[in-house]
Amino acid sequence: MSDLPRKAVTRGAKLAALPLGIAGRATLGLGKRLGGRPAEEVSAELQQRTADQLFRVLGELKGGAMKFGQALSVFEAALPEEVAGPYRAALTKLQEAAPPLPAASVHAAMAERLGPDWRELFLEFEDKPAAAASIGQVHRGVWQDGREVAVKVQYPGAGEALLSDLTQLGRVARLIGPLIPGLDVKPLIAELRNRVSEELDYALEAESQRVHADEFADDPDIFVPAVVTHADQVLVTEWMEGIPLSEVIADGTREQRDRAGQLLARFLFAGPARTGLLHADPHPGNFRLLVDDGPADGWKLGVLDFGTVDRLPEGLPEPIGAALRMALEGDAAGVLEMLRQEGFVKPSISLDPDAVLDYVLPIIEPAAVDEFRFTRAWMRAQAARVGDPRSPAYALGRQLNLPPAYLLIHRVTLSTIGVLCQLDATAPFRAELLDWLPGFAGE
């Protein structure tokens, strides 16, 4: 592959093939069952083939297709286990790897953006990428002052491909939706599309990373690599070792899982309080657990990729914490009134306060206890409760509204909880809320 596949018709055909492939395999599976093969065997084979196609298409296309795949990957914890297995492996691959650009394309991009003598800036530069993401790939190098660095190079044509993919994915969202039951795919795609310009702007990303690196420079728990330099579509930061969260999820120890979960929850709430910015891409590929020979409570969470942030100068909105506190106190009327004030319930909608409280309480269970075990089973139960058309929670949920100001906060929070469930982490979630969420502790 010499470049990002750029022609809209080519990319559109590949994306359209996803749901068509799913439909074709379902028909083939029906034929095999009629031919006498066990239903479970046929179903498992179809799921594996679908997962393989999903990774191959989204990974090859990079751009918005891969960005969408990464966003989906944090929700696999909500899938029934018999469905989740094949998708878990395929989607997790999207968090850390994709087919790389050849070295010649990388060299040309570096020369165009840093000048023909770009190699003089580095003592070493590895042509083979260390990681690949939706719009760029990362190379390891040694900067001229001896620092080990990560060099992120944006794929040629990434912007055009990103917009084209997300437009096409929007058209086939109805067919892709069943891959993740209970998740409304169209708003997710629309929100990803709205963030395209920020995602492509490495100057904005460099500034957001600098803010975090400065704020957490001496922090005992969170580490953010410093920015070395940036140019148009090239970002150079200090290199960071550590265990990718995807590896902790796959086979981490209990200590690693719990420490990673605790720090992930802390960063979710402390980040906006301390920097006025919300890191808005919380998939496992963007985090590392920095483990040393000391006790687990000294390990740090390393954070990468600040291409998408939500700007929250006052931190997370105070009504979130206030509504959480009132719900745990059993103040049904207060919760409904707060939801109305913030636009979650439109003026024309009439709801029973107790029904609203019944809807909310199971979701906020982690905030009610000193320590909570986040599991895939718990996540699946929540997804089934609000996603089953026969459930009262489903009917009530359809009457709620998600105000634009809360859209990104909602997705980031859900995604982080999804990762906590993938980690199977026991975390003191409530303590982090008390420390960092405005309004939750009361006066």
Query: pLDDT tens for residues 239-283?
Result: 999 999 989 999 999 999 999 999 999 999 999 999 999 999 888
Same domain, 177 and 246: no
| DSSP conformational letter for 330 | T
User: What domain range is 25 assigned to?
Assistant: 8-95+171-181
Give the model's confidence band at 36: pLDDT under 50 very low, under 70 low, under 90 confident, else very high. Answer: very low
Beta-carbon contacts of 202 under 8 Å, excluding residues fewer than 6 positions away, are: 152, 154, 230, 231, 232, 233, 234, 235, 307
8 A C-beta contact, residue 251 and residue 242: no
8 A C-beta contact, residue 338 and residue 354: no
Same domain, 264 and 393: yes
Among the residue ranges 191-195, 330-334, 421-425, the one predicted with the least confidence is 191-195
**Residue 271 domain-assigned?**
yes
Same domain, 364 and 286: yes
Same domain, 278 and 405: yes
Count CB-CB contacts under 10 A for residue 24: 12
Nearest Cα residue to 84 out of 57, 120, 123, 47: 47
- Alpha helices (H) in 97-200, listed in sequence order: 103-114, 158-171, 173-176, 185-194, 196-200
Same domain, 176 and 295: no
Nearest Cα residue to 234 out of 330, 402, 118: 118
Same domain, 422 and 274: yes
Structural domain tally of the chain?
A: 2
- Joined together, the tokens standing for residue 94 give 């999207």
Same domain, 290 and 413: yes
What is the identity of the amino acid at 429? F
The stretch 114-124 carries a mean pLDDT of 96
- Say whether 17 sits in a helix, a strand or coil: helix
Q: What is the model's pLDDT at position 387?
A: 77
| DSSP conformational letter for 293 | S
**Residue 407 domain-assigned?**
yes
**Residue 25 domain-assigned?**
yes
Q: What is the model's pLDDT at position 384?
A: 83
Same domain, 177 and 248: no
- Joined together, the tokens standing for residue 388 give 């089953």
What is the identity of the amino acid at 255? E
Q: What percent of the chain has pLDDT over 70?
A: 72
Same domain, 257 and 177: no
**Residue 12 domain-assigned?**
yes
Residue where the block lists tokens 């600040």:
306
8 A C-beta contact, residue 148 and residue 126: no
**Residue 404 domain-assigned?**
yes
8 A C-beta contact, residue 367 and residue 430: yes
Nearest-5° angle of CA 200, CA 194, CA 102? 30
Whether the predicted pLDDT of 31 surpasses 60: no
Same domain, 177 and 254: no
Same domain, 253 and 373: yes
Q: What is the model's pLDDT at position 174?
A: 61
8 A C-beta contact, residue 263 and residue 219: no
**Residue 106 domain-assigned?**
no
Q: What is the model's pLDDT at position 404?
A: 78
**Residue 120 domain-assigned?**
no
- Say whether 130 sits in a helix, a strand or coil: coil
8 A C-beta contact, residue 315 and residue 276: yes
**Residue 151 domain-assigned?**
no
Same domain, 311 and 438: yes
